[in-house]
Structure 1
């Protein structure tokens, strides 16, 4: 199959770029002695998770339990879920999952940790648990080193749980806070006779300075596999290394300055993230996808010099944020040059629970 044989909208993934991106990051991690634990929420493909592990990743991270179940079914046997698990159905599934793989969970409060411990203790098992710390992102996480140490001690004393370390997701530029936070927390835990073997940080925007975090033992990056406009702006990937594009068709040219694509909010992410437009059209970089309705992408052509797109023309769009785009499609086309090697099932798509 050729790319020209695909209908639109379709997701194109450049395999040469994916492989180069994965190798570049794994080489960096190996060089600096950092365990690479890639976040599969970006691609949701079992093929790429297996490739990441084959290249040297120390397991994977899955944001949701459903993603982890899919990856375990595919043979991935070391999975971290950096998201609080709550409720009996999820805890029953977590226990079942832990019977067949190494599973690492997180908590930022005893009210999260205790039910997990109870579920595992009743099953005659225990599970590794990290304390999630808020080091500036203002999302989940304990709010002080004192809270972190107290929760770590609580986990270490709770049947069904094994305290395994600390986890954080810092905001861009937040590595100095991570290094200082982890250093002080580790020393305080040692005073209580508690070791923290895993010190996990994450994020693609600052991935190339992960080695400056000092105390971090592993790093969780996701978007690095594909890249997108957000990561270009962050400086972690170059335009020519971005591997995922959405193939679209120009379905209307109502005016000289406006084109309509068949890629609306159901085909492109609605994340603007402070960028100009909802994606970059490779063939017309000065055009702006200024609006999305459900099925229509509204393109402003007023800044385009020279030829403008014609009705029926096909274009490639680099999305603002690759991760939600992956979750919009059942399959993606894995390509080398103009050849489509396979249509890969996005196996963990829609696994929101």
Structure 2
């Protein structure tokens, strides 16, 4: 029996694939050795069964074998992103967080794409602010040194996905690739704040991050069904540090953040999303959006800065957002 057929047989009876078989199947899919019909069946088999951490990790590690990996980077560097799929049409919170982190002196390697289901994708947002989207791997280190921030446009780094894209489009349903996207950063961040669309994905993706070698991170699912921390109520969290993981809850009320409504952070399209992002970076915008950025920024600072408690991180973040330091910082570096 061919190995990819063996994979399909196991998935058909609801069995998780062992690491070696999962690795084989994903590698065959990326290289084109697996027939297109089997690729569709394989993805649907995983979705129907429910993907395991080992299977997702195998998908990530084999995808990175085919990616244009960025070299020459040292020291701590973070990515802030969500898997999407929460259908909330919210503003670009994770992009605002990334830019504030850079303004505060941290190195940020933001991996993302244009909008698919959201009002404005991270690529659309940073392009509108004046950043370059197509940065070749050998130029990333210099760009990061210059700005503390570099945007890695996913299609430029994952050529193997061009082969799979049409099959995913024909399937027309979300698959594990939507979960894998934020884990495929070619700059291999040491730290990550990862948002997921449901509570059941929190622990699962924490396990995947541990299996794929991340040093320190947090997987979050926020109140209101968001793939970010939100000021609407408690969030489910999975902390990761040096291979161990811990489930937790974060309540914004513990940090003095008043409750807001999900409708307070909705934007209607790209133009509004970009306008709102500019306001937030300048310390303006509505209170719900500022508080949402502060929560996620504070969590990121807690991950990056040794000895900084989560409470201290959120306090520091609220001061940074109130000051509008990000707008001033990027006005200087983009026009230097």
TM-score (norm 2): 0.30
More helix per residue: 1 or 2?
2
More strand per residue: 1 or 2?
1
TM-score (norm 1): 0.29
